[in-house]
Amino acid sequence: IVSDPISDDGLNIFYENNIDVIDATNSIIDENYEHIPTANGWVIRSGTTINASIIKKADKLAVIGRAGVGVDNIDISAATRKGVVVMNTPDANTISAAEHTMALLLSLSRNVSNGHHSILNGKWDRHRFIGSELRTKTLGIIGLGKIGREVMHRALGFNMNIIGYDPFVKEDMLRSDDIELRSFEDLVSHSDFITVHIPLTKETKGLFDYKCLSKMKKSARIINVARGGIINEIDLAKILHENKIAGAALDVFENEPIEKNNPLLSAPNLILTPHLGGSTK
């Protein structure tokens, strides 16, 4: 079963090895999906959730392949109990996600989205949208895995000061000339820009709630190209309406596609993209 879009090159690997492929990209995937009991393998991206109810009915399933990094949309415990191997591709979209982070970082700092919409509305607000140079600004990186480190390397090229938080990384694993490790609280309160690169877990869900967001500088901006739900969307919308931070950019959301009544859709100083972080040719 392939239930999320992947490239023809990827599909051809299956065809060349005489594997029957069931295209489920436009199907409703739940425990009643007809091909679950007979599937030997399943390929997904972020659009499909494979929960315990689905795995329970997958009597012949041997492997789930996640074309991407995060596996929070797979019930790992249920898969393990059933003897189903779960694999991901941690390097596949590292550069894409890091570059999209930089795109949002630059767009926020220079009011690209606001300027664009201003011109479309017949205005010329050159003096209204005063930008902020990245040079000498402090970038706080939450999560120093593959993507977080790629963002760090690119931000250093803009002569930014980099601070980071990652409980699984020690000082001697990084060059002190590149980055300084801080506590989570210290990073939140001292960063001019914060970028999130951690998985969605019980511990990280709602990590950036109203209380946490309130501790950011009023001139600071936050970016999430990791997983929806790490930033509480209702709280972020409230913070932006109250002008307690300067802006935010999100590529991921708690529910995707984003719901029409999501308060973020009416929040100011916000850039939204439809989960494009890993979407490059």
Cα–Cα distance list, 233 to 55, 198, 238, 264 (Å): 30, 17, 9, 7
- The backbone region for 269, taken as left when phi is positive above 0, alpha when psi lies in -120 to 50, beta otherwise, is left
**CA 222 to CA 208: how far, in whole Å?**
10
Closest CA to 199 of 88, 274, 103: 88
Closest by Cα among 169, 166, 168, 222 to 191: 222
Q: Write out the catalytic residue numbers.
A: 227, 256, 275
Question: CB count, 10 Å around CB of 157?
Answer: 9
Alpha helices in 165-274 (DSSP H): 184-190, 210-213, 233-241
Contact between 97 and 75 under an 8 Å Cβ cutoff? The reply is no
DSSP three-state, residue 165: strand
Dist CA 10 CA 65 (whole Å): 12
Question: Which residues, 6 or more positions from 212, have their beta carbon under 8 angstroms from its beta carbon?
Answer: 188
Report yes or no: 66 and 48 within 8 Å, Cβ to Cβ: no
Angle in degrees, CA 211, 212, 217, rounded to 5: 110
Report residue 193 as tokens.
């820009």
Tokens in use for 36? 């679950």
